[in-house]
Structure 1
Amino acid sequence: MSQFVESTTERHGYRWVILILAWLAFTMTAVDRSTWGPASVSVADHLGVSLGALGVFATGYYIGYVISNAAGGLLTDWLGPRVMMGSSLFLAGGFMLLFGQAESAAVGIAFQAGIGIFAGCDYSAGVKAITQWFPASDRGFAMGVFMTATSLGVVIANAVVPRLIEASGWQASYRFFGMASMVVAVLCLVFIREATNTTSTRRQVPDLRQLSSNRDLWLLGLGGFCALWGTYGFITWSNALMIKGSDISPVKAGGVVVIFGIAAIAAKPVVGVLSDILDMQRKTLATIMLIAFSASLILFGLQDGLTGFYWVAPLLGVFAYAYSPLLVALIPQLAGARLAGSAAGATNAFWQLGSAAVPVVLGMVFAQTQSFFWAFATLAVGPLLGAVLISRVRETAPNPGTALTESTATAGRN
């Protein structure tokens, strides 16, 4: 079998098929993850779980997600993005179906962890596939399109799940999206392939020592941890906080998050294109976005009614995700094309530790203070610290139209 060693320098038409399939797979895992937010209050009522304890379900998911990111990146570089993307999404969809049958909190948490364990592989597999098919000079746009999946997942879940719950109960949403995930998984297994200009070598487990000693990847991991503290803390808790903290109906709370997600979808490819064409380092643009994200969280926390939420939601949506394609585009830039999957999985595993920790912490803060504002102030601390860390990354300028050499990527400095 062949293994892709360096990224393509050509613009082959099939790269758009690869991008669409990677985006579809990542969208479905994002929908699966985001289904919890609008369904959480109904699940709590059905299983007899207190509001403060709901964070444990999301933490169970993200613990599994961290594990799959750490292992999935390594397996992607070893087995290839087609196998990892298709098989992991199929199994994640299966656990979505199982969660829809859960009748106890313990079983539900275990199934959430199962969803997370298999959902985390699509990210690194998608980054690897895009790195293979898109030259470095085009990756900002490609990663921007790819990363719209996480925002679109939020929009789809919040537009569909509240209405499915009203019509058929919360279980219907997990069954519906579980089946949809399995269908997309089959499409990936059939149509994903490697680029034609690969170097023919025996597949082997990649050597990760050069990644572990890369100081800039560590800073990227820590900065992403802080950034996702704010992003996924909002996704996990915003519905419940608006429903319980501001007496907003579930459907209207879902509508606020839909506006948030739509703004994020529009922002990501635009920011990706700007990073390709502007004479500005990606780390600098990401730092600006993270500072604005922190300020937007504070502003959202100061609102006390539906009108205010509607006005601030699009602003928050732009900054809550605009940094993500910039951080993702930095990964192959710092690590090199050959280890892009492993680097993506390792950094995202670290990033998702923030996602795993924040639901429980935010639940404790809200339980103690009963304050909508202090919950969002707690979220705002994360991206502010992330801005400081990302600003310290020594960014290597990409060489347009060519892949990074390993020596350049390993150095990871100007």
Structure 2
Amino acid sequence: MEKNLTSSGDASCGAWPVQSAAETETSAYRWVALFIVWAAFLLSYVDRVAWSTVAAPVGASLGLNVAMLGAFVTAFYAGYVIANVIGGALTDLLGGRAMMTLALLPLGVFTFFFGETRTLTTGIAIQLAMGFAAGADYSAGMKIIPAWFTRDRGRAMGIYTTATSLAVVLANAIVPSFSAQHGWSNAFRMLGVVTFAWGIVSLLFLKNRPTSDQSPTRNSAKEMLGLLRNRNLIVLAIAGCGGLWATVGFGAWGNALMTKQYGISPVVAGSIIASFGIGAVIAKPTLGWISDLPGISRRLMSILCLIAFAFMLLVFGMCSTTTQFYVVAPILGAFSYGYLPVLMAQISDASGKRLAGASAGWTNAIWQTGSAISPLAVGHVYGGTHSFMLALLTLAIGPVVGMVAMLFVSKHISRE
């Protein structure tokens, strides 16, 4: 175990020494490292989507109109975008373990105090702080995984990203019911305590890289800034922004749209969205594993997933009964999250392990601008038209833009 946050065991400061893939891939600890960052990502995502599961009933009690139900989600992602840029660079300097800890501890505190929200202004301020605290967890995970996984990195990314879809399942299965029995404030207090506790686990048990690695040299600011001129990273950033426009927008509004439009109870709507998450949990590691196979084009896989995502959003928009929603939701979930591990693997390939944190940070910052804007955009469309289909059509624009962007990614990105 490392003795301090920036000790010589950190993968913090730059050039990664040469190490055989076999040496890394035979280490049993790599699965421990993957589990720690996966669980951290899971808790972070549960914290950010928990509001969406109770927005309709709790929003009414707080006096929020329908167009403003997505304001808290937008506030979270606004903070998240800013923190990703800063956190990505700091992850390469301080190491994944340090940034994971610095993300989870304050996130737990702010999530706990969100339970005290009684006004729109207070809620927005706390969600902004939650987003800022959580902004480095993704970059930290994206730094740790390439250090421990080489040939099977796509599979590891697929497993890592199941955290977000499983978080949708858990949040929708637990938070509405827990809130109905114990109050929504206590639900957020519980989440805050668990998140803080996992921050302690990360501090104590997470290792940045195999001990056989020698201490790397520091990344230079010039090298990090050079990532901003990498064409493949630029296009992948645009593609992910379009994809997450729809993924997060649907996560923020799926429950409320079914409740508002068709009178489906929050618990049943949560169950439907949970089935959506189950589809994603199955698809992510499967597609990540397929993307590792020799001769498979990650670029083409991404394009096909984004096309299917846009199509299934329109199919969901044509549904009107509980049965129809249950049938379509898991298929939509598979494509709405399935593209993510494939895009993430391409980002790691395009930047290399040494700059994995910085590249993940700034590309994710662009990705999350879609996450920040789409909940408010969908809210205004639905609030102004009360059209279920128009709301889903607004979301479908994102993956279409992402698909077009992927056409400009190089077909020959080397895999480290």
Would you call these one fold, judging by a TM-score over 0.5? yes
| CA distance in structure 2 between the partners assigned to 1:347 and 1:72 by the alignment | 12
Q: Which moved more, 1:114-123 or 1:201-210?
A: 201-210
Q: Which amino acid in structure 1 is aligned with residue 284 of structure 2? A: K
Question: Residue 83 of structure 1 corresponds to which residue in structure 2?
Answer: 98
Task: Using structure 1 for the length normalisation, give the TM-score.
Answer: 0.94
Question: Residue 251 of structure 1 corresponds to which residue in structure 2?
Answer: 267
In the TM superposition, what is the alpha-carbon distance from 1:202 to its structure 2 partner?
Answer: 5.5
In the TM superposition, what is the alpha-carbon distance from 1:69 to its structure 2 partner?
Answer: 1.1
| CA distance in structure 2 between the partners assigned to 1:38 and 1:156 by the alignment | 10
Sequence identity, in percent? 43
Question: Residue 279 of structure 1 corresponds to which residue in structure 2?
Answer: 295
Q: Which amino acid in structure 2 is aligned with residue 310 of structure 1? A: Y
In the TM superposition, what is the alpha-carbon distance from 1:280 to its structure 2 partner?
Answer: 2.0
Q: Given the superposition, is the C-alpha separation of residues 230 and 42 from structure 1 closer, same or farther in structure 2, using an over 3 Å criterion?
A: same
| CA distance in structure 2 between the partners assigned to 1:148 and 1:124 by the alignment | 16
Task: Using structure 2 for the length normalisation, give the TM-score.
Answer: 0.93
Question: Residue 65 of structure 1 corresponds to which residue in structure 2?
Answer: 80
In the TM superposition, what is the alpha-carbon distance from 1:283 to its structure 2 partner?
Answer: 1.0
Per-residue Cα deviation, 1:129-173 (whole angstroms, up to 9, x for no partner): 0011111x1100000000000001100100001101110111121
Question: Residue 6 of structure 1 corresponds to which residue in structure 2?
Answer: 16
Question: Residue 165 of structure 1 corresponds to which residue in structure 2?
Answer: 179
Question: Residue 411 of structure 1 corresponds to which residue in structure 2?
Answer: none
Q: 2:123 aligns with which of 108, 126, 143?
A: 108
Q: How does 1:2-401 map to 2 (within 5 A)?
A: 2=8, 3-4=10-11, 5-6=15-16, 8=19, 9=21, 10=23, 11=25, 12-135=27-150, 137-194=151-208, 195-201=210-216, 203=218, 206=221, 207-399=223-415
The answer to whether the Cα contact below 8 Å between 2:96 and 2:140 also exists between their aligned partners in 1 is yes
Question: Residue 410 of structure 1 corresponds to which residue in structure 2?
Answer: none
| CA distance in structure 2 between the partners assigned to 1:209 and 1:185 by the alignment | 30
Q: Which moved more, 1:52-61 or 1:19-28?
A: 52-61
Look up the SS of the partner of 1:338 in the other structure: helix
| CA distance in structure 2 between the partners assigned to 1:61 and 1:397 by the alignment | 33
| CA distance in structure 2 between the partners assigned to 1:218 and 1:177 by the alignment | 35
| CA distance in structure 2 between the partners assigned to 1:96 and 1:134 by the alignment | 32
In the TM superposition, what is the alpha-carbon distance from 1:278 to its structure 2 partner?
Answer: 4.8
The answer to whether the Cα contact below 8 Å between 1:334 and 1:396 also exists between their aligned partners in 2 is no
- The size of the alignment, in residue pairs, is 399
The answer to whether the Cα contact below 8 Å between 2:54 and 2:266 also exists between their aligned partners in 1 is no
Look up the SS of the partner of 2:212 in the other structure: coil
Per-residue Cα deviation, 1:225-258 (whole angstroms, up to 9, x for no partner): 1000110010000111000011100000000000
Look up the SS of the partner of 2:354 in the other structure: coil
The answer to whether the Cα contact below 8 Å between 2:72 and 2:123 also exists between their aligned partners in 1 is yes
In the TM superposition, what is the alpha-carbon distance from 1:42 to its structure 2 partner?
Answer: 3.0
| CA distance in structure 2 between the partners assigned to 1:397 and 1:72 by the alignment | 25
The answer to whether the Cα contact below 8 Å between 2:346 and 2:413 also exists between their aligned partners in 1 is no
Per-residue Cα deviation, 1:37-70 (whole angstroms, up to 9, x for no partner): 1121233123211111112111101101101111
| CA distance in structure 2 between the partners assigned to 1:27 and 1:387 by the alignment | 27
Q: Any gaps of 5 or more consecutive residues in structure 2?
A: 1-6
| CA distance in structure 1 between the partners assigned to 2:294 and 2:316 by the alignment | 30
After superposition, the CA RMSD in angstroms is: 1.4
Q: Given the superposition, is the C-alpha separation of residues 201 and 6 from structure 1 closer, same or farther in structure 2, using an over 3 Å criterion?
A: closer
Per-residue Cα deviation, 1:100-143 (whole angstroms, up to 9, x for no partner): 011211011100111111112111100100011111x1100000
In the TM superposition, what is the alpha-carbon distance from 1:183 to its structure 2 partner?
Answer: 1.1
| CA distance in structure 1 between the partners assigned to 2:266 and 2:401 by the alignment | 32
Per-residue Cα deviation, 1:352-411 (whole angstroms, up to 9, x for no partner): 000000011101100111100110011111101101101210144445xxxx4xxxxxxx
Q: Which amino acid in structure 2 is aligned with residue 106 of structure 1? A: T
Q: Which amino acid in structure 2 is aligned with residue 6 of structure 1? A: W
The answer to whether the Cα contact below 8 Å between 1:78 and 1:205 also exists between their aligned partners in 2 is no
| CA distance in structure 2 between the partners assigned to 1:202 and 1:218 by the alignment | 26
| CA distance in structure 2 between the partners assigned to 1:395 and 1:339 by the alignment | 21
In the TM superposition, what is the alpha-carbon distance from 1:201 to its structure 2 partner?
Answer: 4.1
| CA distance in structure 1 between the partners assigned to 2:279 and 2:405 by the alignment | 26
